[in-house]
Structure formats: C-alpha cells, structure tokens
Amino acid sequence: MPTFQQCLDANPTELMTLGASIGSAAAQLTQLGASYGTTVAGLAASWQGEDYQGLVRWSGQVAAFIGRSDAAMITCAGGLGTTGAALMATCTAMKATKQAAEGIGYKVLPTPFVILGPSQWSQVSAAGPGAPAVLAAYQAGAVAFTTALVSMYTAIIAQDTAGYAVIRTALALSPS
C-alpha cells in the first residue's frame, strides 16, 4: 500500500508506458508464432515422415504456449494501461487539492490530515469577538480538505489493489 507522500510523488504514466510496451511485445510474440506456424507448414512439401509429424505435434505445443503467453501479456498490458490512467487522474486531483489547501494557508500533514496554518491562526487571533466564527470557518475548511484528500487516497489504494489483482491474474494465465 503506498503512503500518502508516495501517491503525491507518483508518476502513473510509467504504468501506461509499460502497458503499451507489453502490448507491443505481445503483438510481436503473436507475429513470431504465426511465422513459426507458417515455416512448419511450409516444410511439408520437402519433409515427410515421423520426424516431420513430430515437428507438427511440437508446433501445436508451441502455438498453445504462445497463445497462453499472449493472453497473459495482453491482460497485463490492458490492466497496466487502465490502472495507470485511473491513478493518473486521481493523483493529479489529489495534488491539486493539496496545493489548493496549502495555497489558502492550510498545512497538509502526511497522514493526510489538514490543519490550520500560521496565517490562519493569525487571522483568528486578530478577529477579536468574531474569532470563534473565523475559527469555525477555517476548521470546516480543514475538515473538507481532509475528507477530500482521504477520499482520493483511499481511491488510489483501491486502484493500486485492483491493478495488482489484474497483474496477478495475468501471471496466472502465463504458462509455467
């Protein structure tokens, strides 16, 4: 599970790039399998007998292996792309929310938890008889920012967990 700070520092585009690379490798593997099958079939005219039939049986096993590997790679590529996009959107929103809170004077702790910053305490102190109302307003803002950040952090953890599950599923599809 990532920490709040790791989520802020994250670059989920790397997951999308990795997914695209794995998808490209899967396409190359498919092409390699097709080329192998074509080559084996092309040998039929000049190669007969038990040895050739053994090669044909073996090529069936190779095709099955390539098919399972291809399925695993495509599942993994899709999962990484989808997870990366979801994480990117949520991480970007979380960074913007943190910056907005800090921009108006709040202090964002690494838990995530938002508290009043020094400038806000100064305004509360300077508010005289209106200090309780100013304090209440700032506290309500801190609660709203905390709630938003915790929600986004929870969503990132869920997205990370879902992405992990897709990768584990892809690994289970992979031939041993």
156/148 Cα distance (integer angstroms): 12
Q: Which of 49-58, 79-88, 164-173 has the lowest mean pLDDT?
A: 164-173
CATH code assigned at 160: 1.20.1260
120/64 Cα distance (integer angstroms): 66
Total domains, the chain: 1
Classify residue 75 by burial, with Cβ atoms within 10 Å: 0-12, 13-18, 19+: buried
145/43 Cα distance (integer angstroms): 69
Mean pLDDT of the chain: 93
SS3 114: strand
DSSP assigned state of 115: E
Supply the pLDDT for residue 159: 94
- Tell me: the pLDDT tens digits for 69-116? 998 899 899 999 999 999 999 999 999 999 999 999 999 999 999 999
Length in residues, the chain: 176
Supply the pLDDT for residue 16: 93
Confidence of residue 176 (pLDDT cuts 50, 70, 90): low
Among residues 22, 27, 16, 24, which one has the least CA distance to residue 163?
Answer: 16
Confidence of residue 172 (pLDDT cuts 50, 70, 90): confident
Q: Which domain holds residue 85?
A: 4-173
- Tell me: the pLDDT tens digits for 30-48? 999 999 999 999 998 888 8
